[in-house]
Structure 1
């Protein structure tokens, strides 16, 4: 699969590197072309402008800060028509009460992107794990492949995202349409807040199957 990556930071490097290692053709695009070239060289990918990355293939990863994502996607709206646009951002705002979502009354950043580029097939995915998890080959814990929840409306986006997830050794976990993306963003706020406090979020979600028979 051809995958364009918008951004040159940690998530661009980690996810882009995972996909490149899996045999996908990845192109990293950034406003700073030299930084895009360095990131691409690190992961064995091509590099170019943001517009080139947006036009590159079936999938486009938005790996820029959440606050900048809607404007960037709006600027590239004409380039990403009919493409699966994967939003891995987390719109988090530190407050005295802990991490809060910074989405105003729009519901989620993913819905903001869908509004900014109505011809694109926006997906919310890859936002629940720390960047370091995506550098594992594959991400497996207690002999179980990592499940990657995602929200998408369009069948093409669902299929492309499932391929992106399964090709790096993870399990696709569809969670409904894009209207439910706000739940993934809220889950990230809760989980990251717990990590910052030195706690383990997964300890709070045992499977009912682990309870002894009544």
Structure 2
């Protein structure tokens, strides 16, 4: 499939590299055209650099990979309010986390994913890929102690979820459907909570029991 990428930073690079290897074509955009062109060159012959609006309309899937404070500005520049993303699968991997405080910048209001859905008229938003450092997405594949990394997805459109599930599987991961877009705020809050622990040198994964113990002692 053809994937448009809004952003030319590290997440765009990591995920774009994996999807290019999987045989997808890519259109990359960024605030700095030279940076976007350099990323497209690194991604190979299946990638090209373009404007925000061109990346938004290049294919059936668009990855939103910019800093949280730039999300609405970038969507506006891409013409989202005018329907450029209508009908397209829009993957939101952003984390609205306040640096140093590790709380949500969206606290008290809609999640970032819900704000994206409002700003990108007619798009089919799926929250995904927000729980890991970009270097995890560069792993081929991300497998830990023999278990493939699970990627939670939140979205309301089943076809969009199926499309993102296939892109998750391209990375060697497994997709966990975690509910509708109304639950995306919980996924964003999970990221904020875990990032604080990781910065403190604590293993966030260790705070959850194995599935067989999740509802009590299985014995």
TM-score (norm 2): 0.91
Please give the per-residue CA displacement for 1:7-45, whole angstroms capped at 9, x wherever unaligned.
111001001111111111111111321110101112222
Contact 2:156 2:180 in 1 (8 A): yes
Once residues 83 and 27 of structure 1 are traced to their aligned partners in structure 2, the CA distance between those partners, rounded to angstroms, is 14
User: Cα deviation per residue 1:126-179 (whole Å; 9 max; x = unaligned)?
Assistant: 000011000011111111111100101112211111111112211011101100
- The counterpart of 1:99, out of the listed 96, 99, 102, is 102
Cα distance in 2 for partners of 1:170, 1:41 equals 26
| In 2, Cα distance between equivalents of 1:18 and 1:208 | 30
What is residue 84 of structure 2 aligned with on the other side? 79
> Which region of structure 1 is more displaced relative to structure 2, 152-161 or 6-15?
152-161
Shift of 1:74: 3.4
Is 1:19–2:24 an aligned residue pair?
Answer: no
Distance 1:132 1:93 in 2: 21
Shift of 1:58: 1.2
Aligned pairs, number = 212
Unmatched 5+ stretches in structure 2 = none
Any gaps of 5 or more consecutive residues in structure 1?
A: none
2:40 alignment partner in structure 1: 40
Q: Is the counterpart of residue 200 in structure 1 residue 203 in structure 2?
A: yes
Q: Does 1:69 align with 2:74?
A: no
Q: CA deviation at 1:111?
A: 0.5
1:45-89 Cα distance to aligned partner (Å, 9 max, x none): 221111111111111000111111123223421221100111100
Cα offset, 1:213, TM superposition: 5.8
The CA distance in 2 between the partners of 1:47 and 1:186, in whole Å, is: 33
Q: Going by fraction, where is strand more abundant, 1 or 2?
A: 1
Alignment of 1:44-193 (within 5 A): 44=44, 45-75=47-77, 76-77=79-80, 78-94=83-99, 98-193=101-196
TM-score scaled by length of structure 1: 0.93
Q: Deviations over 1:83-138 (max 9, x none)?
A: 0111100001135xx41000143221000011112311111100000110000111
Please, what is the CA RMSD of the aligned residues? 1.6
Do the aligned partners of 1:8 and 1:29 also contact (CA within 8 Å) in 2?
A: yes
SS in 1 for 2:99: strand
**Does the CA-based 8 Å contact 1:70-1:109 persist in structure 2?**
no
Conserved? CA contact 1:71–1:116, under 8 Å? no
Per the TM alignment, residue 212 of structure 1 is displaced from its structure 2 partner at its CA by 8.1
